[in-house]
Structure 1
């Protein structure tokens, strides 16, 4: 019997958690990584590395969770209409991002069936438009420099279950309102919990971004796993609904909602611009005397420590540079210590910083690290932060 079929017929009694499944919201490869993206990625990176010292951790990231969306495929269709002969292999992410801004600004009418082939190829073959493949290539280089653990950006992996079986599983539990037989959409039944209806599949058969997430996460549900959903505040309504749906399948679920990072006092979606000069590529290219290790630690000190979970302060380059400088001084004062018993000290220190759901809180960990006496020996600090 398949894992999905078992989930359709069984409700689990959740025992003690022995594995943490970390599922951050994925990012469509259509624009540069902004400070909001960097904050989410670094919180996830510190959380996964620190939590893995005290419990089993599985990070869930699948490119198809981001590409099987109208947001990605509509942009690809636009590029093929407007620039069918462009060679994207050497294009900069800023230039690709500028096309993304133009795509949203133009509000072109499109054939409702135009995206069918894009979605089919992306779902069945893992196809990604050359512009987005170029964007993923640039992201990989930037994240490697930043020391973010491998997300699998170069991997092609089918989602854990197909769309139709997932919809059938939702229907068996009464979690959807299905108007397809009338030529209409499929909605998640939010009103049963006092939430709004949320479209899951359009009347044209195109999935909302929540469907690929469910297709990947639901088959992973089993006893002793805790699911941690990481997302930004703007997606809270969707993720509250996602949490309820996963719970109906027997999952133990918790969420970590992060505030977005304003640019010049304004919080806006990356589709509206305002990110020039503040992308991850811009930050990594900023001149300075610090080495790569100090850059990695300083970026985490800023995005996980200074910009705490609910921070509303705007991105400040001078404050980031100050954090990188402080990181360099901290590393100079903390030679690598390999003394006996260091492992036990790490586990003890990190256990004290665990939240009730079982993950280590990146802000509390960073704040403790910046105190007069760091809670971690130097080798553990480097392993988690650099």
Structure 2
């Protein structure tokens, strides 16, 4: 378990000592359902990691939607849509309607055969996005813009630099691969040396699991002067611990930022089971109120980052979101002055090579917070 204020130690101390660039690499989201409170939390943590750390050192966001599209979770759903609604016009469909189809698919749908999936993977590798997925991404872009998060390239055509064969060959050279493909079996990532179980990367029918596109994207990025911040939710922490160690084996300095999922009505449920009606980012953005857009942005960060922290088990509470937005409006009511000590303050929050979003926001939750400087307003709104 990752504690509230503790990041895992860098896996490559020599590289950490010469870091010249921070690469923030969050797990991407499949465009198959609305953005839930758990997704919003991850997006806001990632946004603050990039914005705040950029003020003290070169920082880049490593977001490639293709890593989410090249998964069975996504392509099987797209194949299902083409089977049950061929030729449908998705350009005006609501996110809830698409999400309900996703829930129904997992409840009653049939997974395509490997050959059908392979055809979809080939199209995705060429830059194709299913119209329903593109519609969802367009809706997300608008919602994220209102939240003050710049489009990370949701529909950008970004080929992955390595293919599956290159990843498997590189893993094999380092003794990290158990390869049964020549016998008609799967290929496994071998984490035994780290005290971790083996993890299937490619099935016997040749289908790669979701870790493969991530490795295809990140391994070619490894440089001695880069620190990788791997942002994931706690539900897939075991997989990301393995990714963390694999990157280190290739010479990367890494930090793992694992975020607890946000329960809704006391339950942590996968999006494929539904239960998100009324609490999606679209629902929150549409809630009426007197506060302005900047107060909404700051309030959402105060709640999802400062109040929930990394691992709060507290269920999502719209009343606390409204209270945070109201507090934000009061904090933004005065004039914004310049803070000559801004960089020094951020450096004091960067104990692990990056500015800790929790420490940044929780410090604003006292009874009498200081007025926000112009620099902090730029980061937080």
TM superposition shift of 1:107: 4.6
Q: Deviations over 1:6-57 (max 9, x none)?
A: xxxxx99524212111100100011000000000000111111011111111
Q: Show the 5 A alignment for 1:108-123.
A: 108-123=110-125
Aligned length: 369
Equivalence for 1:347: 343
SS at match of 1:88: coil
Structure 2 partner of 1:236: 237
- Indicate yes or no: 2:363 matched with 1:368: yes
| 8 Å Cα contact 1:368/1:375 also seen in 2 | no
Residues 336 and 215 of structure 1: is their aligned pair in 2 closer, same or farther, counting only changes over 3 Å? same
Rate the CA distance shift 1:380–1:12 in 2: closer, same or farther, 3 A.
closer
* Map of 2:155 onto structure 1: 154
Per the normalisation by structure 2, the TM-score is 0.94
Q: Is the 8 Å Cα contact of residues 114 and 207 (structure 2) preserved in structure 1?
A: no
Distance 1:267 1:36, change over 3 A: same
Matching residue of 1:81: 83
Provide Cα deviations, 1:96-130, integer angstroms capped at 9, x if missing partner: 0000000100152532321011001111x111111
Please state how far the C-alpha of 1:149 moved relative to its aligned partner.
Answer: 2.7
Q: Is the 8 A contact 2:80 2:109 kept in 1?
A: no
Point out the more displaced range, 361-370 or 261-270. Answer: 361-370
Q: Which residue number in structure 2 is paired with residue 336 of structure 1?
A: 336
Corresponding residue of 2:378: 383
In the alignment, is residue 194 of structure 1 matched against residue 195 of structure 2?
yes
**Does the Cα contact within 8 Å between 1:13 and 1:250 map onto a contact in 2?**
no
Q: What secondary structure is seen at the aligned counterpart in 1 of 2:230?
A: strand
Q: Tell me, in whole angstroms, the C-alpha distance in 2 between the residues paired with 1:133 and 1:187.
A: 32
- The answer (yes or no) to whether the contact 2:332–2:371 under 8 Å persists in 1 is no
Displacement of 1:337 after TM fit?
Answer: 1.6
In structure 2, the CA distance between the partners of 1:348 and 1:377, relative to structure 1 (3 Å rule), is farther
C-alpha distance in 2 between matches for 1:374 and 1:190:
47
Contact 1:264/1:315 (CA < 8 Å) preserved in 2?
A: yes
Contact between 2:233 and 2:260, CA under 8 Å: does it hold in 1?
A: yes
Aligned to 1:280: 281
TM-score by length of 1: 0.93
Output the CA distance in 2 between the equivalents of 1:87 and 1:207.
30
Structure 1 residues 366-375 or 162-171, which shifts more?
366-375
Please say if residues 12 and 223 of structure 1, whose CA atoms lie closer than 8 Å, have aligned partners that are also in contact: no
For each residue in 1:173-194, what CA deviation from the matched residue of structure 2 results, as whole angstroms up to 9, or x when unmatched? Answer: 1111111111111110022222
Alignment of 1:194-343 (within 5 A): 194-333=195-334, 335-338=335-338, 342=339
Secondary structure of 2:137's partner? helix
In structure 2, the CA distance between the partners of 1:164 and 1:375, relative to structure 1 (3 Å rule), is farther
Cα pair distance change 1:307/1:13, threshold 3 Å: closer
User: What are structure 1's unaligned runs of at least 5 residues?
Assistant: 1-10
Classify the secondary structure of the residue corresponding to 1:127: coil
CA contact (8 A) 1:345 1:376 kept: no
Is contact 1:33-1:280 (8 Å) kept?
yes
Distance of aligned partners of 1:222 and 1:86 in 2 relative to their CA distance in 1, 3 Å threshold: same
Aligned to 1:67: 69
CA distance in 2, matches of 1:375, 1:165: 52
Give the Cα–Cα distance (whole angstroms) in 2 for the partners of residues 258 and 303 of structure 1.
Answer: 11
* CA offsets 1:262-288 (integer angstroms, 9 cap, x no match): 000000111111100000000000010
User: Matched residue of 2:363: which SS?
Assistant: helix
Distance verdict in 2 for CA 1:30–1:109, change over 3 Å: closer
Aligned pairs for 1:136-175 (under 5 A) are 136-175=137-176
Secondary structure of residue in 2 paired with 1:241: helix
Report the Cα distance in structure 1 between the residues aligned to 2:194 and 2:227, rounded to whole angstroms.
22
Work out whether residues 90 and 135 of structure 2, in 8 Å CA contact, stay in contact via their aligned partners in 1.
yes
In structure 2, the gaps of 5 or more residues are 1-11
Aligned to 2:60: 58
Is contact 1:12-1:250 (8 Å) kept? no
